[in-house]
Amino acid sequence: MRKILIVGAGQSGLQLALGLQSQGYEVTLMSNRTADEIRSGRVMSTQCMFHTALQHERDLGINFWESQAPRIEGLGVSVAGPESQRVIDWVGKLDGIAQSVDQRVKMAGWMETFAQRGGQLVIHGAAVSDLDFFSRTYDLVLVSAGKGELVSMFGRDASRSPYDAPQRALAVAYVHGLGPRPEHPDFDAVRCNLIPGVGELFVMPTFTTSGRADILFWEGIPGGPLDAFQGIKDPAEHLSLTLELMEKFTPWEYARATKVELTDAGGTLSGRYAPTVRNPIGRLPGGGLVLGVADVVVANDPITGQGSNSASKCAAAYLSSIVEHGDKPFDEAWMQSAFDRYWDTAQHVTKWTNAMLGVPPEHVLNLIGAAGQLQPVADRFANGFNNPADFENFFFDPALTEAYLAEVAGASGASASE
């Protein structure tokens, strides 16, 4: 049976490892942390996943937390005006539910399942020199080590990476005790709060190590007032700054957050990174080739909450490419074709995410505003988080946006500019 080494036990590496294992491949998974270390460590993401990505997990039968995790039925957008009041506020309904399962819970659980099913789990932080050796003993080496140091093996693709510096400073806090959004107390939604020129606050329900919780996630434009978390080590201080900024910039979200407390000492995270697309094939000093997976090759800013979704889609695409290839060698041409198949989907995510990092053009502001009057527009925008390719049809080109809004307004008998 074919031998495959996967380096990095995150969303993509574990999903791929479990998928290959179920098809009878001999899989070795290398992780720089044990399951217990992951479970008791720091949060890593907000990991909200939409229908298509969740379905890939269901297809493999590894959706172990689906019945416990909150069912996210909507995605809402609020825009702050100059007096910190809301000038836009709507919620779109998702066709399929979204869910966030704390990666500490999921990755630790999946890692244990992989080992219980007979997988070879090696706890070791792999270096390039290790991979040089292993590329000679495995049929295929996949590097799914996220944004860690191993990315240095994969050259940056400047033509697909418009930014060479971080576009947001990130600050996450997991809390218990957040009240429901009074506008829709009967269902859960991801709430995106946009503060023009300053940044964004995302609020979303999750399932963490201590059960249901909510995440308060600031994305601050570097150098601005939200870029204030660097150097804060004390989780309590991190939370109090999170709340202070909410009171100032998003008082409507602060109103339901006055009783929150951190889920645990590892419930905060801050940092930043430059969105980067890389060449998918890494060339080792000894001549061997390795294929990059998910964040290693396409790392987008989390402003659109797509990285885990893309990791799931990448794992699903690579799984199909590997299985379809049968016993033929995993050579350079195959590696490129496997990545190209993934890029068919990922390119839309990258284009839309990079657009959301910039100053929105007038037609996008009109679109977001119109969604407050026209529910079909709100619903379509929300469902774009599941299928970002759809944004090609109504988001980027002002003429297409205008035509789409006129069509919906005509069908509903309202005017898009009302």
Ligand X SMILES: Cc1cc2nc3c(=O)[nH]c(=O)nc-3n(C[C@H](O)[C@H](O)[C@H](O)COP(=O)(O)OP(=O)(O)OC[C@H]3O[C@@H](n4cnc5c(N)ncnc54)[C@H](O)[C@@H]3O)c2cc1C
Tell me if 153 contacts ligand X by CB under 6 A.
no
The answer to whether residue 350 forms part of the interface with ligand X (CB under 6 A) is: no
Would the CA dihedral through 373, 85, 189, 194 be positive or negative? positive
Distance CA 308, CA 50 (A): 9
Q: Does 141 bind ligand X (CB under 6 A)?
A: no
CA distance 359 to 382: 20
Q: Between 39 and 68, how does the x/- string for binding to ligand X read (CB under 6 A)?
A: ------xxxxx-------------------
388 binds ligand X (CB under 6 A): no
Which has the closest alpha carbon to 210: 267, 257, 268, 258?
Answer: 267
Answer for which of 60, 69, 97, 145 binds ligand X (CB under 6 A) is 145
Residue 156 CB burial class (10 angstroms; 0-12, 13-18, ≥19): middle
Q: Is 172 in the site for ligand X (CB under 6 A)?
A: yes
* Count of CB atoms situated within 10 Å of the CB of 201: 26
Q: Which of residues 15-34 bind ligand X (CB under 6 A)?
A: 30-33
Could you tell me the smallest distance in angstroms from the CB atom of residue 172 to ligand X? 5
- Does 276 help bind ligand X (rule: CB under 6 A)? no
> Closest CB to ligand X among 37 and 407?
37
Distance CA 342, CA 314 (A): 6
| 72 contributes a contact to ligand X by CB under 6 A | no
Nearest to 12 by CA among 70, 66, 53: 53
Q: Please identify which residue in 5, 6, 10, 303 interacts with ligand X, judged by CB under 6 A.
A: 10
Q: What residue has token string 């998928």? A: 19
Q: Which single residue is written with the structure tokens 């957008």? A: 77
Q: Is 66 helix (H, G, I), strand (E, B) or coil?
A: coil
Q: Where are the beta strands (DSSP E) in 156-253?
A: 169-176, 188-195, 199-208, 211-220
**Cα–Cα distance measured from residue 222 to residue 228, given in angstroms and rounded to the nearest whole number:** 9
- Provide, rounded to whole angstroms, the least separation between the CB of residue 385 and ligand X: 9
Question: What tokens were used for 334?
Answer: 């195959």
Tokens of 322: 């590997």
Q: Does 119 bind ligand X (CB under 6 A)?
A: no
Task: Please say whether the beta carbons of 71 and 188 come within 8 A.
Answer: yes
Phi-psi region of 287 (alpha: psi -120 to 50; beta: other; left: phi over 0): left
Our CB check for ligand X shows the closer of 122 and 255 to be 122
Q: Which is nearer to ligand X, 58 or 259 (CB)?
A: 58
Strand, coil or helix: 384: helix
Report in angstroms how near the CB of residue 46 gets to ligand X at its nearest.
Answer: 4
Strands 3-7 vs 140-143: parallel, antiparallel or unpaired: parallel
Q: Is 85 strand, coil or helix?
A: coil
Give the integer Cα–Cα distance in Å for 294 and 121. Answer: 20
Q: Which is nearer to ligand X, 78 or 309 (CB)?
A: 309
User: Binding ligand X by CB under 6 A: which of 131, 142, 150, 303?
Assistant: 150
Closer by beta carbon to ligand X, 8 or else 282: 8
The answer to the question of residue 345 lying near ligand X (CB under 6 A) is: no
By CB under 6 A, the count of residues binding ligand X is 35
Shortest gap between Cβ of 275 and ligand X (angstroms)? 11
Do 405 and 367 meet the contact criterion of CB atoms below 8 Å apart? yes
State the binding string over 224-263 for ligand X (x if CB under 6 A, else -): ----------------------------------------
**Least separation, in Å, of the C-beta of 338 and ligand X?**
15
* 166 touches ligand X (CB under 6 A): no
Over the window 295 to 324, marking each residue x when it contacts ligand X by CB under 6 A and - when it does not, the resulting string is: x------x--xxxxx-x-------------
- Is residue 346 near ligand X by the rule CB under 6 A? no
CA–CA distances in Å: residue 246 to residues 29, 216, 227, 366: 41, 9, 13, 26
Assess 280 for contact with ligand X (CB under 6 A): no
Quote the least distance from Cβ 9 to ligand X, whole Å.
Answer: 5
Residue 69 near ligand X by CB under 6 A: no
Segment near ligand X (CB under 6 A), from 1-9, 85-93, 181-189, 336-344? 1-9
Rule CB under 6 A: is residue 205 a binding residue for ligand X?
no
Binding site for ligand X (CB under 6 A): 7-13, 30-33, 45-49, 125-126, 144-146, 148, 150, 170, 172, 269, 294-295, 302, 305-309, 311
